[in-house]
Amino acid sequence: MSAKACREHYGKKLLAKYLGEASNGEVQVEDRAVLITAAILDPSSGVTWDSIAAENPWLLGTRLVAKPDQLIKRRGKAGLLAINKTFEECKAWVMERMMKEQTVEVVTGVLDTFLIEPFVPHEQQDEYYICIQSTRVGEEMLFYHEGGVDVGDVDSKAERLQVPLLKEVTAATVTSQLITRVPLERQEKLASFLVTFLRVYRQLNFVYAEINPIVVDQTGRVTPLDLAAKIDETAAFLCQSQWGEVDFPAPFGRAEFKEEAFIRDMDAKTGASLKLTILNHKGRVWTMVAGGGASVVYADTISDLGFSHELANYGEYSGAPSEEQTFKYAETILSLMTRNMDDRGKVLIVGGGIANFTDVAATFKGLILAIRSFADEIRNNNIKIYVRRAGPNYQEGLRMMKQLAVELGLPIKVWGPETDAVACVPLALGLAEEESLPEYDPDSAAIKTVQKDTAEEPALNATTSAQVTFRAAGEGSGNLVQFDSSTRCIVYGLQQRAVQGMLDFDFMCKREKPSVAAMVFPFSGNHYVKFYWGTSETLIPVYTTIKEALQKSPDVTVMVNFASFRSVYDTMTDALEFAGQLKTIGIIAEGVPESQTRAINLLAEEKGVGIIGPATVGGIKPGCFRIGNTGGMLDNIVSSKLYRPGSVAYVSKSGGMSNELNNIICHNSDGVCEGVAIGGDRYPGSRFIDHLLRYQSNPDVKVLVLLGEVGGIDEYDVCDAMADGRLTKPLVAWCIGTCAGCFSYEVQFGHAGACARGKGETAADKNAALAAAGAHVPPSFASFGTTIHTVYSGLVESGAITPAIEPEVPKVPMDYTWAKRLGLVRKPAAFISTISDDRGEELKYAGMPISEVFSEDIGVGGVLSLLWFRRKLPAYATKFIEMVLMVTADHGPAVSGAHNTIVAARAGKDLVSSLVSGLLTIGPRFGGALDDAARMMSGAVDKGMDPLTFTKEMRKENKLIMGIGHRIKSLDNPDMRVVIIKDFAQKHFPSNACLDFALGVEQITTSKRANLILNVDGCIAVCFVDLMRTCGAFTREEADELIENGCLNGLFVLGRSIGFIGHYLDQKRLKQPLYRHPWDDISYITGEM
């Protein structure tokens, strides 16, 4: 959704700021204005009329204008302007209307936002009309010497000036071509304004801006009175610092729901596409559709069948959303759907085209989880669910849905690709019997196709199809795109799944060489990546630059560009430097700013390179070549017979619907000869006409298919070509988006270009024009396949098409990863991990999401307990763990571990090497006393020994008692670390059996020598044994096993690492030189021993 309308207040603020900057202060416009929202009615908001006046003192001494600022057209004619008023009069006028319903023409909405600004005294002859709108080739400036509410049809009478892309306009040109009817004394100022206005328009990535009226007074001062503007929101990464806080309100008449904001926020944080618009929250027909094009098709079909008044929402979820994202999206839909009861019941249509790469089963897991959580509400609201889905792993997804229906006893009907995309809609609306459309049967999911002639004829051979060319960026441009069985490409981006899919398609089509010659990935050195070529393996080189990739692969003519929307422009300018070799570039990324897309198209036109995209899945020539993920998984390639050419060639805006077209064409003809999705953006690199003219010149193509959509005017080029005879082959055409005419307000559909911005851009207008030009236009998309079948059958009957015998279906080994996901194979894992999982929506520690780790504030001790023990321990236990880490963190620079770390640091070693040097000293003589002390003391307690007996036993066996003894500390001079640990354990632990035993031993040993006290290692050890045995999280056997496995030493290692790192950083900070041990600290004994 690219072009978004902004508030007048926001647009004027942008102009006021940047017109001055762009003209070095020459152009200055009024910037005083204040926005009044419904917060004025809320006493707790702190917003009052007095506070507004205090912040804007000019309000009290200025004549003012007040008006709603909610994207309302023709406010003057609707009586929604208060002109030449005092502040008090404006206040009364606004308060009289705030939060009241208002009908403007056929739209009714609630007034909740008002704009107050200075009144500009002027005469009628001071008013003019200005508009700038972006086009494919530049900006078009419209000017009329009269302005205001009665300006009339400016499209037919305004002066127009086309400003080419990347070209500046001069004041002289504006004066001579636009404003000739303006008084001479005003022309200079007005021309200066218009030149600067265009500059700012481009700088800030506006796509439309209309000022009506703009006032130029006797002094030449220019003041925009009313502004309507749209901004390209995809340019946020370019302009966010200039835009500031952007205000994109919902259209007047459609209140925005908090759920819409929630989905919009979720969409902004993921690479998937998640959209939701509430059309009628009390409607009975709800949809949850995958794919931008498919979402429009379902809305169209519902509206075409007379249920637009019951259509509750428009939206899409696509681009491989995760299970968690799908759950939240479905949960939002079901929450809204069950909010208002309707005695007639409701329906939820879960639909979509045939996905190219989204795992249907994975997304359905999220949907099923949401249905489970709303099962009671679904029953209470008498909701029926109709599911039609296809694509990767759809069989498992549909099986899960059927199982859910049985398990929960919910009315869920399920269909797959054996039916057309919208075949279930009449059933859901009660217009057809449910029995009339057999449900998906996993045991006999046959795909219906047109019967082929079984006469003995030569099998289809992809390599014999004539190679044809087409003008990809504009008629007469001479830019060539060529796809045949020898076409090779480079892939920009480390897209291993897409590349493997292309190679599998190549192998299936019996190509001699893989279509992918190399990959480009700038963020690592040159290397190779292993792929499968059938059952064998092959290596594809990866280069860091496009230049090197092309130099090493001179037969490459195509680049598939998977760069992100942020870097597409840079990669394309780089790639177009090699126009002598590259003839076609496919741009996959969505969200490329229109300004960059148009600049890319212009440069490609100049260089003679054809562009497919942006925002495309690509294209496919059966038996020859596929771009990226076009055509989906191999099972769909087989079911749609894309491994051999048919007689029908299509061009589509939508990538998801292109896969649906593969399915529809296969069902209703002998299959696809070639298909291209040009992309859903407003300015695709190649257009419908470019591809259709290529198909026209290809003798293998007998039927043309066009799937357009609301927005843009490219379909009219096709009408012209049919009228002047350039297109003579039968064309089946349909433009989706017919439902837009059912809404009283503007709806922006899933694709950036899917919004009518002007006359003739509606789907209904374009369908009518195509029909008038001679295209076969069905009554609705639901009849699209039937129309294709009728045209195809007529050509077969006339002898224009002779169906060929079907070749043997090729077999390609299934990738192990995918086979495992489908449950077809199994093998033992190389590793087993039970402590963490990074595969889902968020990282989990022992099953606990990382968000809960922080929301519950379990601390480092809690994290350690999850990762080491797979348990969530009590708060006192995690606190004890943290205390242990704190008291063991360091014991000065003299101990062996710290010493080694310091020596390594001073030798110039890195942090990790220095740390490891210190850690390697930990053992029986340094740090290892913890484990041994725990074993000795707990073993004695378990045997029922008393401290005296234990002490005598150790003396008898000549063993040191681990954990007893300190170099200088005694009972009279205690080690405070021991005191802290001991006191905490005695206060918080349920039992202190081992600690009490150790303290008993201490009483005996200190009677012999004062420094034979329970030291910190021993204290930690016996307290930790008590903790593990009595905290309730472990059995006795589990606690003993953990101690036996060395977790106590692990605590010492973890804690002491803190100190070792500190010593390393300390030495680096002090810039200490290489350490050499002094001679006088070494006893040199050179004689014989």
Q: Phi and psi (nearest 5°) for 708?
A: -95, -165
Question: Are β-strands 558-561 and 489-492 bridged in parallel, bridged antiparallel, or unpaired?
Answer: parallel
Contacts with 547 (C-beta within 8 Å, 6 or more apart), sequence order: 577, 578
Among residues 751, 776, 966, 1063, the one annotated as catalytic is: 751
1057: three-class secondary structure by DSSP:
helix
1047-1070 and 911-919 helices cross at what angle (nearest 10)?
130
- Radius of gyration over every alpha carbon of the chain, rounded to an integer in angstroms: 37
Under 8 Å between Cβ of 646 and 669: yes
Sequence-ordered strand ranges (E) for 172-308: 206-216, 222-224, 227-232, 273-278, 285-290
Task: Compute how many other C-beta atoms are within 10 angstroms of the C-beta atom of residue 138.
Answer: 18
Instruction: Return the H-helix or E-strand segment holding 527.
Output: strand 527-533
Token duo for residue 643: 């491994």
Token digits of residue 807: 């070749």
Measured CA to CA in angstroms, residue 455 lies from 686, 805, 810 at distances of 40, 7, 21
| Residue 751 is a catalytic residue | yes
Question: Can you tell me whether residue 676 is helix, strand or coil?
Answer: strand
CA angle at residue 53 from 9 to 111, to 5 degrees? 45
Q: How buried is 1070 (Cβ within 10 angstroms: 0-12 exposed, 13-18 middle, 19+ buried)?
A: exposed
Task: Indicate the DSSP class of residue 447.
Answer: P
473: helix, strand or coil: coil
> For 103-116, b where at least 16 C-beta lie within 10 A, e where not — what string?
ebeebebbbbbbbb
Q: Which two tokens stand for residue 389?
A: 């889905």
User: Among 633, 559, 553, 658, which Cα is nearest to 600's?
Assistant: 559
Give Cβ neighbours of residue 45 (< 8 Å, ≥ 6 apart): 39
Q: To which residue do tokens 């259209």 refer?
A: 251
Which ranges of 305-344 does DSSP label H, i.e. alpha helix? Answer: 323-337
* Burial annotation 759-796 (CB, 10 A radius, 16+ → b, else e): eebbbebbbebbeebebbbbebbbbbbebbbebbeebb
Residues labelled catalytic: 751
